[in-house]
């Protein structure tokens, strides 16, 4: 596994290595408070906050952050990351995914997952990719089940998030054996 910054391109989206060049677009999409309800931190409050968040993402160990860019209009749609990269175990997590309101419940999220999973299994040689979400975030749980990820269980009081809330995290995964069927399902959802 050689995880390094790269661009992943699909039909509708391009995942670009996150940089300060994306700050204004991320701020435009990431200042709607309800969209961040289940994230570890609150929405962006100003341009300096976005720049600081980008710096933190770029410096975080075992992570590879991306900006999600809608190809049709070249607009930044949101962000996502590979995190918890464990090369010795050939596994990683896909997370910190968020999208601006214009892109929620669209092909953008589905194709983003397809690109990230394809790269993880087919180029990096992963045998496991995991996802976690706040137990209160039923929409995310249903979306993960919809793509074929398997619910594994709940880590209770796993994280302290916004306003000191003790979050339970629900874990899902896709294994290398399951990947062909998940890929077929994602491709079908992208082509609707």
How many CB atoms are closer than 10 A to CB 115? 21
3-class DSSP state of 117: helix
Domain layout of the chain by residue ranges: 8-190
Q: List the structure tokens of 61.
A: 């160990």
Q: What is the pLDDT of residues 27-84, one digit of tens each?
A: 999 999 999 999 999 999 999 999 999 999 999 999 999 999 999 999 999 999 999 9
Cα separation, 129 vs 136, in Å, equals: 22
Q: Is the pLDDT of residue 92 over 90?
A: yes
Q: What is the pLDDT of residues 124-171, one digit of tens each?
A: 999 999 999 999 999 999 999 999 999 999 999 999 999 899 999 999
Q: What is the DSSP letter of 39?
A: S
pLDDT of residue 105: 81
CATH code that applies to domain 8-190? 3.40.630.30
Across the strands, what pairs with 65? Answer: 81
Using alpha carbons, list the distances in angstroms from residue 174 to 80, 97, 128, 142, 179: 17, 17, 6, 15, 6
Contacting residues for 110 by C-beta, under 8 A, at least 6 apart: 147, 186, 189, 190
């Amino acid at each position: 596994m050689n995880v390094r910054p790269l661009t992943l391109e699909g039909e509708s989206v391009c995942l670009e290595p996150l940089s300060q060049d994306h700050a204004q677009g991320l701020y435009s999409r990431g200042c709607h408070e309800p969209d961040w309800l289940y994230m570890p931190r609150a929405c962006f409050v100003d341009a300096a906050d976005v720049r600081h968040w980008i710096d933190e993402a770029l410096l975080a160990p075992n992570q590879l952050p991306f900006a999600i860019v809608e190809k049709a209009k070249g607009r930044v749609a949101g962000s996502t990351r590979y995190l918890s990269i464990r090369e010795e175990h050939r596994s990683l997590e896909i997370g910190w995914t968020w999208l601006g309101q214009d892109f929620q419940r669209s092909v953008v999220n589905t194709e983003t997952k397809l690109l990230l999973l394809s790269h993880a299994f087919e180029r990096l040689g992963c045998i496991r990719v995991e996802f976690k979400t706040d137990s209160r975030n039923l929409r995310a749980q249903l979306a993960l089940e919809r793509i074929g990820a398997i619910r594994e269980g709940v880590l209770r009081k796993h994280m302290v998030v916004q306003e000191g809330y003790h979050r339970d995290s629900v874990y899902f995964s896709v294994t290398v054996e399951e990947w062909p069927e998940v890929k077929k399902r994602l491709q079908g959802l992208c082509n609707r």
